[in-house]
């Protein structure tokens, strides 16, 4: 792995709290983390540890309570709504944990929506290869309500990849997929990094999915608690067990 020094995305001292008083939740507690350009990172951690919140803040979909976020060379803090919308549209691809497809549009219309809005033409060859590899060719005319959860998830991945954005964030992109479709999604994300130098950050609970990444960042209680390079499914599993174990029990 080449040692890149440029960060495609960076959070500095990021804190996000919800609610006040008794119901106050600290979703992110002073998180500082960098994602190098042209690298594939997996974020892991228990349910409620702040993974989705971190991804949303990094992608400019949510604002933090304090701290700063830089994406593709831009400080998100100072952006107007319009500038933020443009940055998200042109530079960032996002796969939501809940897909967020437009119910009235077909699969293909959903996939090309961000490009259509931007007035850009998709790169036909790239789009074809994404659709083929994700097994979507025979579902392009279907609306989300007419597709299975896994198919909708693959449409959401195709949409995030279609415009070849600088950074792709994917929140549990294989959460609803069988292992074969899951492998296709992960290998196409891997290809986005290896063949096009894009930066990919995913959230996953699956050590086998994390093994596709160059690096794993572990979150717990809204903090980064550990990280690992060149993960394998086994090494990730071991680390997860160690992080789960009560202090003093790790040997
Ligand atoms: N809108 C909200 N209002 C109040 N609390 C919230 C809100 N969104 C998230 N939280 C809280 O913030 C914490 C972090 O949530 P987040 O969705 O980032 O977790 P996660 O790591 O993605 O979990 P999962 O693996 O279950 O998806 C949780 O304790 C959650 O209950
Ligand atoms: Mg989540």
Judge whether residue 209 has pLDDT over 50.
yes
**What is the pLDDT confidence band of residue 94, given thresholds at 50, 70 and 90?**
very high
Q: What is the pLDDT of residue 72?
A: 87
Cα 27 to averaged position of ligand 1 atoms, centre (Å): 6
- Tell me which residue of 104, 139, 135, 140 sits closest to 122, measured CA to CA: 140
The alpha carbon of 52 and the centre of ligand 1 are apart by a number of angstroms equal to 7
Ligand 1: atom nearest CA of 219 is: 21
CB 204 within 8 A of CB 210: yes
Closest residue CA from atom 11 of ligand 1: 27
Within 8 A by CB and 6+ apart from 40, the residues are 189, 190, 193, 199, 200, 201, 202, 212, 213, 214, 215
Residue closest via CA to ligand 1's atom 29 equals 48
Q: Which of 16, 52, 47 is nearest to 169 (CA)?
A: 52
Q: What is the pLDDT of residue 97?
A: 83
Supply the residue whose CA is at minimum distance from atom 18 of ligand 1. 50
Residue with the two structure tokens 């680390």: 239
Tell me which residue has its CA closest to atom 10 in ligand 1.
27
Nearest to 111 by CA among 164, 176, 162, 187: 162
Best residue for ligand 1 mutational test, from 15, 26, 49, 169 (most atoms within 8 Å of Cβ): 49
Strands 199-203 and 167-171: parallel
SS3 of residue 17 by DSSP: strand
Nearest to 2 by CA among 30, 29, 37: 37
pLDDT(4) > 50: no
Give pLDDT tens digits for 140-149.
999 999 999 8
Cβ contacts of residue 219 below 8 Å, gap of 6+? 31, 43, 44, 45, 49, 50, 51, 54, 225
Residue 68, pLDDT > 60, answer yes
- According to DSSP, the residues that pair with 216 across neighbouring strands are 42, 228
**Residue 33: in which H helix or E strand, if any?**
strand 25-36
Helix (H) or strand (E) holding 94: strand 92-95
Centre of ligand 2 to C-alpha 172, Å, is 8
Fold of 7-247: Rossmann fold (3.40.50)
Cα 53 to ligand 2 centre (Å): 7
What confidence category does residue 77 fall into, taking pLDDT thresholds of 50, 70 and 90? confident
Residue 220 tokens read as: 């717990």
Residues 6+ away with beta carbon under 8 Å from 227: 215, 216, 217, 218
Question: Helix, strand, coil proportions of the chain in percent (round to 5)?
Answer: 40, 25, 35
Q: Name all residues whose Cβ lies below 6 A of ligand 1.
A: 18-19, 25, 27, 45, 47-53
Identify which of 16-25, 69-78, 158-167, 226-235 has the greatest average pLDDT: 226-235
Give the Å distance between the CA of 31 and the centre of ligand 2. Answer: 16
CB neighbours of 181 closer than 8 A, spacing ≥ 6?
134, 135, 150, 154, 174
Of the candidates 14, 112, 109, which has an alpha carbon nearest to the alpha carbon of residue 60?
Answer: 14
Residue 206 has pLDDT above 80, yes or no: yes
Going by alpha carbons, the residue nearest to atom 5 of ligand 1 is 18
What is the pLDDT, as a whole number, of residue 249? 57
Average pLDDT over residues 204-211: 97
């Amino acid at each position: 792995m080449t040692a890149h020094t440029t960060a495609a995305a960076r959070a500095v001292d990021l804190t996000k709290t919800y609610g006040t008083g008794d119901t106050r939740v600290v979703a992110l507690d002073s998180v500082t983390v960098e994602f190098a350009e042209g690298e594939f990172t997996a974020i892991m951690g228990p349910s409620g540890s702040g993974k989705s919140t971190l991804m949303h803040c990094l992608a400019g979909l949510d604002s933090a309570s304090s701290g700063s976020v830089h994406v593709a060379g831009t400080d998100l803090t100072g952006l107007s709504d319009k500038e933020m919308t443009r940055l998200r549209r042109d530079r960032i691809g996002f796969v939501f944990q809940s897909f967020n497809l437009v119910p009235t549009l077909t699969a293909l219309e959903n996939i090309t929506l961000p490009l259509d809005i931007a007035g850009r033409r998709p790169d036909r060859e790239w789009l074809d290869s994404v659709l083929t590899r994700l097994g979507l060719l025979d579902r392009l005319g279907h609306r989300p309500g007419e597709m299975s959860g896994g198919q909708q998830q693959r449409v959401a991945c195709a949409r995030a990849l279609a415009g070849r954005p600088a950074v792709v964030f994917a929140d549990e992109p294989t959460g609803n997929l069988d292992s074969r479709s899951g492998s296709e999604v992960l290998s196409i994300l891997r290809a986005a990094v290896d063949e096009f130098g894009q930066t990919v950050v995913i959230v996953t609970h699956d050590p086998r999915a994390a093994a596709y990444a160059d690096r794993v960042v572990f979150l717990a209680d809204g903090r980064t608690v550990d990280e690992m390079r060149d993960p394998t499914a086994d090494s990730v599993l071991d680390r997860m067990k160690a992080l789960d174990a009560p202090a003093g029990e790790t040997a």
